[in-house]
Amino acid sequence: MSGSHPALPRATFQGYWMAPGAFGGVPVWLSVEGGLLSLVAAQPGSSGTSVVFRVPVQHARVRAAAQRITVTVAGRTYPVLARPLGPVVGPAVGVAGSLAGLAGAERVHGGAVAARGANVAADAAAFSRQGGHQLLAALRASGAPVRRVGYPAILAAGLAAGFLVVLLVTVITVVALR
């Protein structure tokens, strides 16, 4: 026996846990090392941390979409975001753009569309910069069940939903005009 075993992958994703009752998220580190997945959270008001969970990777279900990694352990869900305000900024800018479009303020509407794009780009950049892709690769290599829905799939779903809304409005308009 040679004694050499392939090293288990390790990686860390620094993000923000949207813990119940925590506005803006709690800084956390989601790490895989030695076949274990752990979530370590910063203690508010101190320089300390606490281990929220540490389990074998096979005991966790991992889903990732856009800038979020969601881990489910023993039936409890832990959503970790790369940018805690990304999900707030996107819809707010979308509403502002919609209102501007209805009011005929085309420049403001165009600016809001550009701002939404910039928000999505910032989310994606933060996910990558903070180790999201490395963590997902390490989890897969460690044998964890990982599902990833990236921006192309989300964009396709959004376009399909938009197309269905336009089709529905067109059908209702044609029926109403008869």
Confidence at 2, pLDDT banded by 50, 70, 90: very low
Q: Can you give the pLDDT at residue 96? A: 82
The pLDDT, as a whole number, for residue 149 is 74
Number of CB atoms found within 10 A of residue 63's CB: 16
Whether the Cβ atoms of residue 80 and residue 54 lie closer than 8 Å to each other: no
The candidate with the shortest Cα–Cα distance to 26, out of 43, 4, 47, is 43
What the block records as the tokens of 78 is: 């832990």
Give the CA distances from residue 79 to residues 28, 65, 68, 88, in Å, rounded to whole numbers and listed in that order.
11, 11, 7, 15
State the amino acid at position 34 in one-letter form. Answer: G
Q: Percentage of residues in the chain with pLDDT exceeding 70?
A: 89
| pLDDT on residue 119 | 83
Per-residue pLDDT of 88-114, as tens digits, reads 777 787 788 888 888 888 888 788 888
pLDDT at residue 131 tops 60: yes
What residue spans define the domains of the chain? 1-82+131-156, 85-129
CA pseudo-torsion sign 98, 102, 106, 107:
negative
Average pLDDT over residues 31-60: 90
Q: What are the residues whose beta carbons fall under 8 Å from the beta carbon of 32, sequence distance 6 or more?
A: 9, 10, 11, 12, 38, 57, 135, 138, 139, 142, 144
Provide the b/e sequence for 86-103 (b: ≥16 CB within 10 Å). bbebbeebeebbeebeee
Selected residue with higher pLDDT from 80 and 43: 80
How many Å from the N-terminal Cα to the C-terminal Cα in the chain? 83
**Tokens at 74, concatenated:** 């023993």
| 135-165 tens-digit pLDDT | 999 999 998 889 877 667 666 777 788 888 8
In the block, residue with structure tokens 């197309």: 163
Q: What is the pLDDT of residues 22-44, one digit of tens each?
A: 666 889 999 999 999 999 998 87
**Rounded CA separation 105/162 (Å):** 22
CATH code reported for the domain at 1-82+131-156: 2.30.29.30
pTM assigned to the model: 0.73
Average pLDDT over residues 123-131: 90
